Chains A and B, each alone.
Chain A
Amino acid sequence: MPIMQRKTRVSDEIPTASLADIAFLLLIFFLTTTVFNEEKGLPIVLPEQSEEQDVSPKNIIFFLVQADGRVVVRRGESEQEQVVSYREVEGILRAELIANDRLIAAIKTDPNAAYRHMVNVLDEVKLAGAERISLQVLE
């Protein structure tokens, strides 16, 4: 029975040397395909309830966000108002902060204004480097 006894030349063992390659390939595949949805945003700390502070009017600058997205700038002391586009807010606030670093940027938003208008202004205020920010509703 010579046929029954013939041995195949192909090795019947699983090659263990390439197992490491397969495992690392899987590892790297999963590492690269994993997407972490990063949590990013504009952080702010709200004041505690019932925590109200009296602020001297000369230490405050108001940004009144209108329903259509225009921004009215009102400096605390003077009653004069200036209508600007939100992109000018950073420059205005930066200049004011150089003069007075205890300045509070108060963002007063019209309740009917879209959320993005308020975030645009908040973004500018953050870009200007303001530390003290207040969020209010325009009445």
Chain B
Amino acid sequence: MAIKNTGFHRKSGAESEIPTSSLADIAFLLLIFFMVTTVFRKERKRTIDWVTAEAMEKIDEKRKNIIHIWVERSGDVWINDRLTPYDDISEIIRPIYAENRELVVALRGDREVPYRQINTITEELQAAGAVRVTFATRLEQRSSRPRR
């Protein structure tokens, strides 16, 4: 009988505590992992007044598949930080599109730019074959209008 009772009192040889000293290693590993995998876009932001919209959708595409075309109020077009004449847009986009068929062009135009300019750009894009275009917008304030 005495032998049976000792079975309940037997202690496990393994430690039941979580080793706290290795937690730091795990945390730093995570930190370094995120630091290494983060890719920053080097493109400089241009100052534009955004157009607003409600029906906008998130571009469901990897960041490397998106190219920005900035159109400033003055009408200047910037692609990859380069001031680009309108006639050269298709020449610049064509090789990028040939390399990456998933390419989406995000058109970031100033709200006051005449539509003539925007139309010229879309025609250039068509000539380059890059037909997936998104008119980049910011969210419209919903309070200003009733929903139907």
Give the size range of A's interface with the partner.
35 or more
**Is A123's CB under 8 angstroms from B58's CB?**
no
B1 at the interface (CB under 8 A from A): no
**Is A115's CB under 8 angstroms from B114's CB?**
yes
B21 at the interface (CB under 8 A from A): yes
A44: min CB distance to chain B, Å: 6
A4 at the interface (CB under 8 A from B): no
Residues of A within 8 A of B58 (CB): 38-40
**Is B114's CB under 8 angstroms from A111's CB?**
yes
B89-122 contacts to A, CB under 8 A, are: 104, 106-107, 109-119, 122
Count B interface residues, CB 8 Å: 56
**Is B112's CB under 8 angstroms from A114's CB?**
yes
In whole angstroms, how far apart are the Cα atoms of A24 and B30 in the complex? 9
Q: A: which residues have CB within 8 A of B? A: 16-17, 19-20, 22-24, 26-27, 30-31, 34, 38-49, 65, 87, 90-91, 94, 109-120, 122-124, 126-127, 135, 137
Q: B: which residues have CB within 8 A of A? A: 20-21, 23-24, 26-28, 30-31, 34-35, 38, 51-59, 61, 63, 66, 71, 104, 106-107, 109-119, 122, 125-127, 129, 131-140, 145, 148
